[in-house]
Amino acid sequence: MEEHLTVGRVAELAGVTVRTLHHYDEIGLLRPSARTVAGYRAYSAGDVERLREVLAYRRLGFGLREIADLVDDPATNTVAHLRRLRGLLLEQRDRAAAMVTAIDGELQARAKGMRTSPEEQLKMFGAQLYDAIGSAYPATRRTEPRIAARIWDALGDARTVLNVGAGTGSYEPPDRDVTAVEPSAVMRALRPAEAAPCVAAAAANLPFGDRSFDAAMAVSTVHHWPDPVAGLREMKRVARRVVVLTYDAGNTGRHDRFWLTRDYLPEFAELLVGWPSLADLTRAIAGRAEPVLIPWDCADGFFEAYWRRPEAYLDEHVRRAVSVWTRVGPQAEQRAVDRLRDDLSAGRWAERNRDLVALDAAELGLRLLIA
Ligand SMILES: C[S@@+](CC[C@H](N)C(=O)[O-])C[C@H]1O[C@@H](n2cnc3c(N)ncnc32)[C@H](O)[C@@H]1O
């Protein structure tokens, strides 16, 4: 016979009161499938699964009635719920990181005796991560011509190109008819006047018909999407050819290969938990993956760009233009920077990484997916 948990045990495990569980039963949200001999509520594995969904949606701020509709939807199975919850939680995490950044900015302004405007104070509530950190982006993020050449080559003879998660448009090919998609208002506002027209939308729901473009591209953005596989499928739907610059997160050797994550910022690994494998990503577009080496003097200041120029990571401008630093939180960031500074001045970094000096380009997991 299937094992059941008592109401008291379930309440204890889930960190809710027995009264809450009784209430869920009374309103029909979670009816335990059995009773003990003494008449107490008893929860099966299936009941517990449903409770997990109810509580996770609750924590995300959904109302009980909305939750009932969600968990009763026959078209959504457990895996679909888990994927949706995961996407929503990641979005919440990024929004929390954006709010911490906005609050830090206001605290700094106040410490200097400055007051932030009502618009600025309220902006944080609607903020996407890039609405909070986007203004720091142009300081160091720009086209790296050697990587651009690879992307443009992969676009083949495409005349119309959709650039998803376009940001400020660093990798938009100048000789094609480009349409950009970018959800962050701040990033859209930072696009140069002559940049391609930009639509406010997200990858999961591209407002274009099937096969509207010769090619769709996405550069350094897929790791921000709540559901990367769904976004890539959308790209495949709207375009005949798909080109994506991303990284191979499944390869754990990558963390060890890059001294910054290996020796200073192990928290980076937490950002990748549950991230689809390279195989999942390439499968989503039915494509292939090619390694992209990062030149030692890479012009685009993304996270790994300064692998042979470690002092760069001590520069606040460099870090603020890379979302990883905001996502790991201020404590991890400060600790990593302090340790790196100490190691650089004591010669320990040079000692540990002396092999790098001879390299002109590094394989740090960057991949070009082409379909
Ligand atoms: C690191 S930037 C890259 C921008 C640009 N592609 C480049 O290479 O410079 C990541 C961009 O992804 C955008 N983004 C975040 N979530 C997104 C989503 N769900 N769909 C599309 N773009 C998204 C961000 O707003 C940001 O502009």
DSSP string, 207-247: SS-TT-EEEEEEES-GGGSSSHHHHHHHHHHHEEEEEEEEE
Return the sign of the alpha-carbon dihedral for residues 266, 268, 270, 273: negative
- φ, ψ of residue 295 to 5 degrees: the values are -65, 150
Cβ–ligand 1 distance for 43 under 6 Å, the answer: no
Residue type at position 329: G
Q: How far is the CA of 159 from the centre of ligand 1 (A)?
A: 22
Q: Judge if 49 and 107 occupy the same domain.
A: no
Tell the residue nearest (CA) to atom 23 of ligand 1.
165
d(CA 71, CA 82): 11
Cβ–ligand 1 distance for 184 under 6 Å, the answer: yes
Q: Judge if 113 and 50 occupy the same domain.
A: no
Q: Judge if 53 and 167 occupy the same domain.
A: no
Q: State which residues form the domain around 57.
A: 5-72
Residue type at position 356: L
Return the sign of the alpha-carbon dihedral for residues 142, 144, 147, 149: positive
Task: Tally Cβ neighbours within 10 Å of residue 4.
Answer: 20
Instruction: Tell me whether residue 92 is exposed, middle or buried, using C-beta atoms within 10 angstroms of its C-beta: 0 to 12, 13 to 18, 19 or more.
Output: middle
What's 216's domain CATH number?
3.40.50.150
The pLDDT of residue 125: 64
Cβ–ligand 1 distance for 371 under 6 Å, the answer: no
Q: Are the CB atoms for 128 and 285 separated by under 8 Å?
A: no
d(CA 75, CA 58): 20
Cβ–ligand 1 distance for 166 under 6 Å, the answer: yes
pLDDT tens, N- to C-terminus, the chain (371 residues): 578 999 999 999 999 999 999 999 999 999 999 998 888 899 999 999 999 999 999 988 888 988 999 999 888 898 889 988 887 888 788 778 878 888 888 888 889 998 877 777 766 665 567 777 788 888 899 999 999 999 999 999 999 999 999 999 999 999 999 999 999 888 898 898 889 999 999 999 999 999 999 999 999 999 989 889 999 999 999 999 999 999 888 765 655 789 999 999 999 988 887 788 999 999 999 999 999 999 999 999 999 999 999 999 999 999 999 999 998 988 999 999 999 999 999 999 999 999 999 999 999 999 999 99
Q: How far is the CA of 219 from the centre of ligand 1 (A)?
A: 8
The pLDDT of residue 272: 83
Q: How far is the CA of 174 from the centre of ligand 1 (A)?
A: 19
Mutational test site, ligand 1, from 128, 143, 150, 221, max ligand atoms within 8 Å of CB: 221
Q: Are the CB atoms for 270 and 337 separated by under 8 Å?
A: no
The pLDDT of residue 249: 80
Q: Residue 260 is encoded by which pair of tokens?
A: 């910054």
Q: How far is the CA of 202 from the centre of ligand 1 (A)?
A: 9
Query: What is the total count of domains within the chain?
Result: 3
Q: Judge if 181 and 287 occupy the same domain.
A: yes
CA 267 to chain centre: 14
Q: Judge if 65 and 98 occupy the same domain.
A: no
Cβ–ligand 1 distance for 32 under 6 Å, the answer: no
User: Does 78 reside within a domain?
Assistant: no
Mutational test site, ligand 1, from 224, 233, 318, max ligand atoms within 8 Å of CB: 224
What's 36's domain CATH number?
1.10.1660.10
User: Does 239 reside within a domain?
Assistant: yes
Cβ–ligand 1 distance for 326 under 6 Å, the answer: no
For residue 177, the SS3 value is strand
pTM of the model: 0.76
Q: Which residues pair with 42 in a beta bridge?
A: 6, 34
Q: How far is the CA of 182 from the centre of ligand 1 (A)?
A: 7
Q: How far is the CA of 4 from the centre of ligand 1 (A)?
A: 46
Q: Residue 351 is encoded by which pair of tokens?
A: 């000692």
